[in-house]
Chains A and B, each alone.
Chain A
């Protein structure tokens, strides 16, 4: 466990422990600026997109690292690059589309042109017009490429970092997280759909929600209301070695019973049905290990989701202090047949802004956000399951340890 050093920024008073969080962290503008420069542009790995979104040479996709707009591009050599989506000249956005296929990236403002490695290849009228004007003779295009990120590809998940000081991605994630990423990303995937959910809250409130096993059965009552008997299933929490990342999972039934369900459906016991059409829950144990739910969060703002056969990646992008965007990318495997796609389509009803077990998550952060202005110096109580962070497996969901792990990492990186 890393040392937590109380080093207040103006206006925010941090307690020594991880079990209290001042509400100003969701509204403070100076803190948000520090997040961008120190956290998001510091030595973290941010999720960019799926490799499946840029499968071909000259494919580009746009995303954000914190609030910095970023382009991911597959260059003519087939290599993956990422760089800032911001012209070196006057700072205009370069790519306006979410996805494109293009041999070069040109700025609409003055037509400065970049290749798909982010190099500045052409400056319009660099030598002037009829010998007049133009850039100074010593202007060196090679010095004015787009700010680059290092890109790491983890089984089809593309991560990027602006910093040259980030550890290798495998080290950043740690073996427990890496193993569980590979469990889901074990074969090539394809995108099945995008959803962009606007959240009325600071991005950290959504990440805390993801890292909060305590609320799941209390806020989300779909399974209990329809008596779908899912909450007594064995499962637990795995906190990464660093404390920064975590996995929450649950099993189908007892391990000994998992095999009998593998080739049949994941549905609940028949006598408990109250759904008029329970085929929404029909599915298969496609990974074959009996784990019916795995939510994996990578610091600072990435989530990999497997809920039965509903697979998705989510990234939480800050949009000022009081808003954020939650981008869902649903995916399946390249070798899915039509029936499997229909299964994923039905199960996707569980998640997203309209999802049976997730619609509340978009709103609940907003309920907190609305109280922040009047909260003064008061602090959140985060001590379910103790006051510290311990790496490893915890076989209870009555804990808020993953949230404390988030704050431990956040404070260490932010120097507060």
Chain B
């Protein structure tokens, strides 16, 4: 095992979830390559190779637009996430592209104090290490829960 690589991936994942959970959403697109792909879908859709899920982006610009919309346009009750990420596993590394996966759970806390296990699933990632920083070339967020409660505004 490449210990250095494992640590770098764990560090990337930790920074990613702290960014979201601390509501620094403007920094979130910066975790992705310029042409990075990001999709939230369900395990059911993923296993059946159905392309449409819950949210899809194929550029950093689309992620920036997501954040702008959440800040400026969309209306949703104030809420925060707390991500727990575990079982971080590097599954391959080839020519500057690292493949890795991890499990996640997201607790959603509403302003009135309501706390729910909102999402559970896995990240399936391709991470480019070209250049100075590691960036997601692709992050697939695959939810085990096929039902989304009310709405999904904040990214996972």
Residues of A in contact with B (beta carbons under 8 Å apart):
98, 191-200, 219, 221-222, 224-226, 274-277, 279-280, 325, 330, 341-342, 344-346, 348-349, 352-354, 356, 359-360, 362-363, 366
Contacts and interface: CB of A to CB of B under 8 A. Distances in A.
User: B interface, by DSSP: helix, strand, loop or mixed?
Assistant: mixed
A196 B56 contact: no
Interface string B90-134: 000000000000000000000000000000000000000000000
A221 B52 contact: no
B40 A196 contact: no
Interface string B59-77: 1111011001100111111
User: A interface, by DSSP: helix, strand, loop or mixed?
Assistant: mixed
Contact of B150 (A221, A330, A344, A366): A366
A139 B75 CA distance: 60
Nearest to A223: B73
Interface stretch (B14-22, B41-49, B80-88): B41-49
Contacts of A226: 68-69, 73
B147 A197 contact: yes
A243 B72 CA distance: 37
A219 B59 CA distance: 27
Nearest to A99: B48
Nearest to A199: B150
For the complex of A and B, list the 9 residue pairs with the smallest distance between their C-beta atoms, beginning with the closest. Answer: A277-B61, A193-B52, A276-B61, A225-B73, A354-B152, A330-B52, A353-B148, A193-B50, A192-B52
B54 A359 contact: no
A353 B65 contact: no
Interface residues of B, number: 36
B151 A359 contact: yes
Contacts of A366: 150
Contacts of A194: 42, 44-45, 50, 146
B150 A353 contact: yes
Contact of B65 (A191, A276, A325, A348): A276
B62 to A, nearest CB: 5
B149 interface: yes
Contact of A348 (B52, B147, B149, B150): B52
Interface string B136-156: 000000000011111111000
